[in-house]
Structure 1
Amino acid sequence: MQKVFIIEDDPKIAEHLQSYLVKYGYDAVIAEQFDDVMAEFHKQKPDLVLLDINLPSFDGYYWCRQIRKESICPVIFISARVGEMDQVMALENGGDDFITKPFHPEIVMAKIRSQLRRAYGEYAAQVQERILETEGLKLFPERLEMTFRNETVQLSKKEADIIESLLERYPRVAGREDLLEKLWDEQVYVDENTLNVNIARVRKKFESIGLSGAIETVRGAGYRLIVTW
């Protein structure tokens, strides 16, 4: 039975979601306190998180970032905020989807099923772990890890996706549009600066394992991996 962790400070909404999830065969757990959500996350070990933005102490964006530091568990934001920037922030901080309140339970269930299939597909356990390698640089997409010689760095899901595209296209250019399409299902939520920010983060990850200048910006086209080590 797959477990969904509901982080919602409105008891009525949380209980409504829980009852609906249980009805459809899921183990649904409601967060009991909001000062240290990660402690309960570690305890529950959920397969998916439903996360409100407006929470006591720290907002949902903060807790999503903490989750992303150590887990690729799908996170679906549920919020009364309807602005485009709120949806951009949700995706930028590691969310996988966004649902606005008031919501229809069937929509929530459909999105939950979609994210669970994507993360833990029916045949996922039978698939051999993928390793992308170039000149001693290794990317482990499922582990969200990159290694070079004796150095290892942890990656976010988006960072891993960018590096995977660079390795797959090497020595060719990975186009901006292709990268955006790989990172987000709906480009409407992405502004011109979004990819630049993520590329900057990826550059820092390369530098942390001793690979400076590993990404070349090809003006008007995209980015290319430079193997000079």
Structure 2
Amino acid sequence: MSHAVARLRAERLARSRKPFVARGSRGERCPGCRVLPGYCFCALMPKVEARSAVCLLMYDVEALKPSNTGWLIADLVADTHAFGWQRTEVDPALLALLDDPQYAPCVVFPGEYAAPERLVEEPPALQSGKRPLFILLDATWTEARKMFRKSPYLDRFPVLGLKPEQLSRYRLRRSKHDAHLCTAEVAALCLELAGDTHAAGALDAWLDLFGERYLSAKHRRPLDVGSPAQQALRPFLAGA
């Protein structure tokens, strides 16, 4: 696995002073899909194209967590970038990406936390003709609010305040608010807004299959290759 989140994970592990052990970890995991090998679904990964790009700012050990869904975005969206977030330091490569003239960056975050003049209802790229670059803060809700407040280099960009109609379907981590979507759900909504509807549908289906396999492995349930989640992924597979 060589995408941006996998590389960030490897870099973060290299800096760790002790091995990272995921909560509830019970053994070896597939390095590609991060579930127990007997439940691996790497062979089902869809190949889709998207004009949109994604920039993931990941809080500390987020890239190390098997339940992280930013990884799923990098699986499918080829132009995905991932950076570790630090309050006092900014990766020069991140700043270079944000200044790349081919992109129209926007921060994706609930609108009630942003100044009204920064809020937009659609990706600014739709008007500029540039490629959208969605900046997603990949963290717990408390951490994400801290990142939003303490990242002044993001203050110059508009804020896309999504108003999703559906409640979160993600079941691997609990939030106090059902309307708080996981990172992959947010990314799928962004792709839909940008016109990358096929990629958005594939990401939603990929997330559902990940959740199903992850929980099946956790509880040692029999593998169901005909499950609704796997059937929903079929339209996005090559040759479908």
- Bucket of the pairwise TM-score, normalised by the shorter protein: under 0.3
Higher relative contact order (CA closer than 8 Å, sequence separation 6+): 2
TM-score by length of 1: 0.25
**Greater Rg, structure 1 or structure 2?**
1
TM-score, normalising length: structure 2: 0.24
